[in-house]
Amino acid sequence: QKEVEQDPGPLSVPEGAIVSLNCTYSNSAFQYFMWYRQYSRKGPELLMYTYSSGNKEDGRFTAQVDKSSKYISLFIRDSQPSDSATYLCAMSGGGSNYKLTFGKGTLLTVNP
């Protein structure tokens, strides 16, 4: 079993749709959870950062972490064509264990 599982998609939705992206993980030591957005041929851009369980909202983006289920989600409301990118979940144990473990990434296309 891989440490982090993420459905690679591709996922195609119409403009305005609500998008749900998910990752599961097996390492209970993970404490910090991140979502990155990566456009083609660009470096990843940090979207959301969450510590431990709970929800975090930033504009159209909501990140959820359920440590009991080892499951994290990213929701995108009112999706736009400019949201078309690959979304990577990442997590770390924090403290001296700051290496990130990435999911494979989900390719999202939002159609106008």
Stretch that binds other proteins, among 15-23, 52-60, 72-80, 96-104 (CB under 8 A): 96-104
- Decide if residue 45 touches other proteins (CB under 8 A): yes
Structure tokens given for 35: 């979502």
Listed residue (25, 38, 11) closest to 73, CA to CA: 25
- Decide if residue 33 touches other proteins (CB under 8 A): no
- Decide if residue 22 touches other proteins (CB under 8 A): no
> Pairing relation of β-strands 85-92 and 45-51?
unpaired
**In whole angstroms, what is the distance from residue 34 CA to residue 100 CA?**
9
- Interface residues with other proteins (CB under 8 A) are 32, 34, 36, 41-46, 49, 88, 90, 92, 94-95, 98-100, 102-105
